[in-house]
Structure 1
Amino acid sequence: MDGSPKRSSRLSATGIAGLDNVLGGGITTNRLYLIEGNPGSGKTTLALQYLFEGVRRKEPCLYVTLSESKAELIDVAESHGWSLDGIEIVELAASEADLEPDNQHTMFQPADVELGQTTKAVLAEVERVKPRRVVIDSLSELRLLAQSSLRYRRQILALKQFFTGRECTVLLLDDNTSSAGDLQLHSIAHGVISLEHLSPQYGAERRRLRVAKLRGQKFRGGYHDFNIATGGLDVFPRLIAAEHVENREQAVLTGGVPEFDRMLGGGIDFGTSVLLVGPAGCGKSSVAINYARAAATKGDRAALFTFDERAEVLLRRATGLGMDLTAQIKDKTLTLQQVDPAEMSPGEFAAGVRRAVDGGDGHAPAKVVVIDSLNGYLHSMPEEEFLTVQMHELLTYLGHKGVVTFLVLAQHGMIGSMQSPVDTTYLADTVVLFRYFEAAGEVRQAVSVVKKRSGMHERTIREMKLDGGIRVGEPLKEFRGVLMGTPTYGGETDTLMGPANV
């Protein structure tokens, strides 16, 4: 059940689906709002989308520009494939005539004359157009003309009083260039939306927004990632798993390898997560792909998100192990997305997973999700904080939706003592441990299930081979120290599966 607030008829939709979700449906009509952010953060694009939504609803719309020219606004609109038809644009930016000596004021303070003229022109246009939606861009010009904080505050209060009773919703844009940390308008505005434009040391720029204030209305707090693409802002609301609790029938996913399913107590319960952890190349991804393919073969869609491996390499490797995914990919029961973490924010990734599970990407809702690997997700975005907490929220959401989630985590090292780059074992319901070990002069692979919250599981350590498929042998009862990678043989019979992988 979605716990987001129900939309009121008094709310004005912004035209940005993700932002409306954050706001609980939109912004209250006939109020004054502040949209603040550094240059390039997306304020103008957001404002234009808000006005386009008004045009779609056949509401009169007015854009008052004090800094940008009408030609610049047209260029912004055309870059998104928009037309400004239906939006009244009033350009009050400085003109070429203002540079003439005869137009320079000498007897009066220039700000006194210019501020009065600017305000009068804005009010006159509002009276003429009688708009339902107004954008004033930007307040930095008014702040500079006012020259003092007291006069500036009084001017904004006068504007607010003027718009009161005129059935007009106003967005004031502020680029934060005139006075750093100026919070005067926060107390005047009915709501405040802050946009941020971040530049990591590597990769594409990141943008996020936060609703700093919204009087009398429940909204989704915190930071929400967003992108600016052709077509406008794409906002990815922060995922709150508690809003998506659902009651679902219990079912079990099997992978077609009886010994492996037996180790897992008969299979993997839907609505749980599985962490596959071990050194590189020991078969973690292959096991995850095997279960995803088994689900897809039965008609349940599986969605694979790969951070470390190119899609074509993964498909070729799966085919070499006897797991040809061509048929499943063709009938869309298995989808594969290669993720570039340098170009994608955590919020956008979580939104992509959510679309796959909800069926919002145009395919059937996914019942199995594979994230390969957590190393790529956690460490390719080193400047992002609280990624582990975001992953916990994502896994909880997937559990509520009845999805089986496979997380692949590569440990540091190959033989002997292993170290994980991050402790994620507490996140998963089931933990499957993979190891290399030496026996009879060969390097072999072992697998064991060390944790399963949802039921009983086998506690043995078995040998695993990848030779045309996944094969699991008998428990390694005669060996000691397999999990340490340095086993000793203490039995009289050889329980190994023949020659190691070639």
Structure 2
Amino acid sequence: MAAGRISTGVPGLDIMLNGGLIPGRVYLVKGSPGSGKTTLAMHFAMAGVANGENVMFITLEEPAENIREDFGKMGFDVYHENFMLIDATPTTEHYVLVEDFSESFAKNLNKLTESIKEQFRTRYYSRVVVDPITMLKLASKEELEYRKAFLGFVKTMMRLRTTVIITSELERTDIEEYLVSGIIEMKLFEHNGELKRAIKITKLRGSGFDNVIRPYDITERGMVVHPDKTAP
């Protein structure tokens, strides 16, 4: 690991990032449904847990019990005491925490930011995942309101000195792309009748990076990036 960098938990991606992520910043992982965004976010979270860090993972779409079951089968330590999984999905029957606590995270982006700050009052988390932010953007009534809220979110996360990965399914994420420190794009495409996966880094403030589109696989043990290969 390069000095001053933290691992994404995916060795091939760390190579593409010239040694990993710069800590204390907000990063966007974007891609279509099924591209593996949550898997990458979980690798990032578990790399922190393996390093003895406290990690917060906020799920806004997939119920927490599904995440624990699916990633538990992959070998991820999803019941570790340093791993805080917050279920903020809209279906109340899936809430694993008391309902009003979950709703405080899910209501809107401003509320999410305040709820994260509240958690930091009792425990420091070096890594935070919000998966996916798409839900909060679609729930926002006005674009301007969302832009202000997102700016507030980024500033707050930087003040908290935590490293954040947010995921998004939206093709156009203009305000997020402008304000985050890095963007990782995950793509699904068809090649010779086969479904292929490719990953590219489109932004990494304060660092050089591999700008070649590289292939990756989702295996039964998680995500594998091939930094020595070129996507077709």
TM normalised by structure 2 equals 0.86
Q: What are the Cα deviations for residues 1-54 of structure 1, in whole angstroms up to 9, with x where unaligned?
A: xxxxxx542111112110011101100000110011111111111111111111
The match for 1:87 is: 83
Q: What are the Cα deviations for residues 249-269 of structure 1, in whole angstroms up to 9, with x where unaligned?
A: xxxxxxxxxxxxxxxxxxxxx
Out of 10, 15, 20, the position equivalent to 1:21 is: 15
Distance, in Å, in 1 between the alignment partners of 2:121 and 2:153 is 13
Distance, in Å, in 2 between the alignment partners of 1:126 and 1:44 is 23
Aligned AA for 2:107? E
Distance, in Å, in 2 between the alignment partners of 1:16 and 1:69 is 24
The match for 1:136 is: 130
Say whether the 8 Å CA contact 2:216–2:223 is kept in structure 1: yes
Aligned AA for 1:185? E
Matched, 1:41 2:35: yes
Q: What are the Cα deviations for residues 224-265 of structure 1, in whole angstroms up to 9, with x where unaligned?
A: 0000002111101145xxxxxxxxxxxxxxxxxxxxxxxxxx
Say whether the 8 Å CA contact 1:223–1:238 is kept in structure 2: no
Matched, 1:215 2:209: no
**Higher alpha-carbon Rg:** 1
Say whether the 8 Å CA contact 2:7–2:47 is kept in structure 1: yes
Aligned AA for 1:141? M
Aligned AA for 2:207? Q
Q: CA deviation at 1:114?
A: 2.9
**Pairs aligned (count):** 218
Distance, in Å, in 1 between the alignment partners of 2:25 and 2:153 is 12
The match for 1:367 is: none
Aligned AA for 1:232? G
Q: CA deviation at 1:175?
A: 1.4
Matched, 1:32 2:26: yes
Out of 184, 188, 192, the position equivalent to 2:175 is: 184
Say whether the 8 Å CA contact 1:10–1:28 is kept in structure 2: yes
Q: What are the Cα deviations for residues 385-404 of structure 1, in whole angstroms up to 9, with x where unaligned?
A: xxxxxxxxxxxxxxxxxxxx
Q: What are the Cα deviations for residues 148-196 of structure 1, in whole angstroms up to 9, with x where unaligned?
A: 22111111110111112322100011112xxx42322111000000000
Distance, in Å, in 2 between the alignment partners of 1:118 and 1:25 is 30
The match for 2:107 is: 114
Q: What are the Cα deviations for residues 96-152 of structure 1, in whole angstroms up to 9, with x where unaligned?
A: 37xxxxxxxxxxxxxxx9325444333323433320011011111110222222111
Q: What are the Cα deviations for residues 332-362 of structure 1, in whole angstroms up to 9, with x where unaligned?
A: xxxxxxxxxxxxxx65xxxxxxxxxxxxxxx
Distance, in Å, in 1 between the alignment partners of 2:107 and 2:207 is 37
Say whether the 8 Å CA contact 1:90–1:125 is kept in structure 2: no
Aligned AA for 1:208? A
Please give the secondary structure, in 2, of the residue aligned with 1:11.
coil
The match for 2:99 is: none
Distance, in Å, in 2 between the alignment partners of 1:120 and 1:187 is 22
Say whether the 8 Å CA contact 1:208–1:223 is kept in structure 2: yes
Q: CA deviation at 1:201?
A: 5.4
Distance, in Å, in 1 between the alignment partners of 2:120 and 2:131 is 14
Matched, 1:96 2:92: yes
The match for 1:127 is: 121
TM normalised by structure 1 equals 0.41
Please give the secondary structure, in 2, of the residue aligned with 1:142.
helix
Matched, 1:55 2:45: no
Out of 207, 215, 228, the position equivalent to 1:225 is: 215
Aligned AA for 2:227? P
Task: Percent identity, please.
Answer: 24
Say whether the 8 Å CA contact 2:188–2:197 is kept in structure 1: yes
Q: What are the Cα deviations for residues 388-447 of structure 1, in whole angstroms up to 9, with x where unaligned?
A: xxxxxxxxxxxxxxxxxxxxxxxxxxxxxxxxxxxxxxxxxxxxxxxxxxxxxxxxxxxx
Distance, in Å, in 2 between the alignment partners of 1:128 and 1:149 is 33
Aligned AA for 1:155? A
Please give the secondary structure, in 2, of the residue aligned with 1:163.
helix
Q: Which runs of no fewer than 5 residues in structure 1 stay unpaired?
A: 1-6, 98-112, 240-345, 348-383, 385-502
The match for 2:100 is: none
